[in-house]
Amino acid sequence: MTTFEADDDHSLFHSGTYEGALNLARSYMPGGELSLDERIEIALTLADEQAERGYFQLAVDVLEAALEELTPAELWLSRAALTVRLNTVKVLDRLAWLNIKLGQGGRAFLRAQLARDLSQDLDGDNSQADDDRIELMHQAAQLTGRQDHWDELPSMPETLSDTGGFESLRSPGAAPGRVRKSVTAPGAPRSSAATPAYHEVPVYFATNRNRTGRANPYDYFRGKRAPLSLGRAEVTVPRDRQTGDFKTASRDSWKTADKARLITIDTIALFDDHEIFWSDMRQDIQASRRKEALIFVHGYNTSFAGAVMRAGQLSVDLDIDGATVLYSWPSKASLMSYVVDRNQVIDPFLEELKSLIVRVALDTGARRVHLLAHSMGAQFLLDALLRVKLEDRVRELDRPIADEVIFASPDVDAQNFVGQIQRVRDLAGRVTVYSSREDRALQASELLQGAVRAGRAPEIVCTSGVDTIDTTEAEQDFVGHSDYSRSAIDDVRSLVWIPARVSPEKRAAILSPDAAGAFWHYSGAAAKTAGPAFRRALEMARQFGLEMALTELEINATRPRTASAGPSLGAIKKQIEALLGRA
């Protein structure tokens, strides 16, 4: 077997991708052929070199590609099955460690758990490898804070490798000396060496707001019209929070805010050279595994800081793997300025949003693009899509420019919405509207506008090619205007996380058809019973894909479970099969 050393003369690092490394290796091989063992060794070597340079996501991408080579059933049924299992364990070990580095606790837990299952009769006397996998599982559980992960943990070994090590999993040879390491359980005090208590989320933004000249990121832009600014904000989102929670730091406390409890803005950086903005975004998307982009357009009565923090929350709760992009129009951020905000829907801003959508979709290498507009932002998005439709580059496409277009509580004239949406429907793989009878913000809008809004039931917007979800039964705040980002977010996740079209019929765990069959009700009662299994099914589908999620369940079925380990495997399987359309 050819061995590739990690020195300057033989480094695979500059080959970049797994396929590039294989092509480089083939150039040294007579006949250009590589065995499966050699290909996996090349992947591991390249990933180690990338990780040593701090390119953890690139290393994950390489190992994900290698793992795909090891998954075909015929390999596991062949005479080489033992070798396949050994290679699979090696790749899973590295991936679990890298996922920890990237703060991806759920992925790390599942991979360390699976590696431990597959290696039970392979490690021989190497007990440290098993101990290190257990420690990875504990660190992953600490990252997720999920009770079902803590319930499934094996007992913590008495001695563990240090936090920077796991050498028994990362490379051959003797492991370092062991040091006792504490792992913080949910609710326990965190030590100074614990994993950071928050996610760090980059949010790219385009805004037509005026700059204040102040350093305070909460007062960086205000609500006057201005030429386009492009930049990137660094948002922190607590790890230990319920999905959908939106507790934020204030303008006055931004330097001292507790990032373990509150969503904050760390920094804001502007790109005077706009092409650097696009170059950086393109690099982030290309370095990601899923190569996704989310474009978010906020609503009325929203400050720039509020919009950025909402984008950060959505990025975490929807697990966006690529780039999250905000278009922030100059809202006055005042309850008394509804008419002023409505008058911001003007041609120059629509042109800016149109250009943003087209460039993100066509110039960044994004494979999947999700457009999400809230409240008055839906009017911006709808009008901008009419302009996107006329772009020559878009007209030449043989596919939709966006995978999902989501209108959350759209503050748009209902009749106008129906007419406009049919003109742009073919720009999206799917269009979804979230509406509520209890949306008090849109009730007020109706009084001011004198016309029914598209986002408020009982005047449900029903039109061909659009899925309308009535979220009145969702758990709401007093205003009832943000269901999409809170209690109903699992339904939004199903749209974003599963590439194949998952119709409302397949989301029957939380949706039920209206008696007339024209739209769907979000069922709060069903969400409380079947919701946990549905959520777990979504998480597994996101991690493994729907088909592979069933295989993971079969593996999990052989593992003992405690009474408090969350939804049963049977309930999760039922939801995966429903999402597959087999229920």
Note whether residue 574 is domain-resident. Answer: yes
And the tokens for 211? 């700059």
And the tokens for 309? 């923090």
And the tokens for 228? 């386009």
Interatomic CA distance for residues 502 and 492, integer angstroms:
11
- Supply the pLDDT for residue 151: 75
Which ranges of 27-55 does DSSP label H, i.e. alpha helix? 36-52
Note whether residue 35 is domain-resident. Answer: yes
Phi, psi at residue 405, to the nearest 5°?
Answer: -125, 120
Phi, psi at residue 370, to the nearest 5°?
Answer: -115, 130
- Supply the pLDDT for residue 174: 27
- Among the listed residues 172, 176, 186, the one whose alpha carbon sits nearest the alpha carbon of residue 143: 186
Domain boundary among 170, 202, 227: 170
Domain boundary among 153, 170, 187: 170
Domain count, the chain: 2
Interatomic CA distance for residues 318 and 564, integer angstroms:
26
What is the SS3 assignment for 120-151?
Answer: CCCCCCCHHHHHHHHHHHHHHHHHHCCHHHHH
Interatomic CA distance for residues 514 and 470, integer angstroms:
9
Interatomic CA distance for residues 291 and 346, integer angstroms:
32
Question: Do the beta carbons of residue 490 and residue 534 sit within 8 Å?
Answer: yes
Contacts of 69 (CB under 8 A, 6+ apart): 36, 39, 40
Q: Which domain holds residue 563?
A: 533-583
Q: Which residues pair with 268 in a beta bridge?
A: 233
Interatomic CA distance for residues 268 and 234, integer angstroms:
7
Note whether residue 93 is domain-resident. Answer: yes
- Supply the pLDDT for residue 252: 82
The single-letter code of the amino acid at 324 is: T
Interatomic CA distance for residues 538 and 544, integer angstroms:
10
Q: What is the pTM of this model?
A: 0.69
* Tens digit of each residue's pLDDT, the chain (583 residues): 334 343 343 455 555 677 777 777 676 666 667 888 888 888 888 888 878 777 888 888 888 888 888 888 778 777 778 888 888 988 999 999 999 888 888 888 888 888 888 887 665 444 577 888 888 888 888 888 777 777 778 765 544 433 444 445 544 332 222 222 233 333 333 333 446 789 999 999 999 999 999 989 999 999 999 999 999 999 999 999 988 899 999 888 878 899 999 999 999 999 999 999 999 999 999 999 899 999 999 999 999 999 999 999 999 999 999 999 999 999 999 888 888 999 999 999 999 999 999 999 999 999 999 999 999 999 999 999 999 999 999 999 999 999 999 999 999 999 999 999 999 999 999 999 999 888 888 888 888 888 889 888 666 788 888 999 999 887 666 566 778 888 889 999 999 999 888 999 999 999 999 887 789 988 877 777 888 999 999 999 998 888 888 888 877 766 665 555 578 888 999 999 999 988 7
Domain boundary among 142, 170, 198: 170
CA atoms 270, 245, 298, 532: torsion sign: positive
Note whether residue 94 is domain-resident. Answer: yes
And the tokens for 382? 């709808």
Note whether residue 372 is domain-resident. Answer: no
Question: Do the beta carbons of residue 40 and residue 90 sit within 8 Å?
Answer: yes
Note whether residue 43 is domain-resident. Answer: yes
- DSSP-derived letter for residue 326 is E
Question: Residue 153 to residues 142, 147, 179, 511, 550: CA-CA distances in angstroms?
Answer: 11, 10, 20, 33, 21
Note whether residue 500 is domain-resident. Answer: no
CATH number, position 19: 1.25.40
Phi, psi at residue 404, to the nearest 5°?
Answer: -130, 140
* Rg (alpha carbons) of the chain, rounded to whole number: 25
**Cis geometry, peptide bond prior to residue 458 (ω within 30 degrees of 0):** yes
- Supply the pLDDT for residue 173: 32
Note whether residue 352 is domain-resident. Answer: no
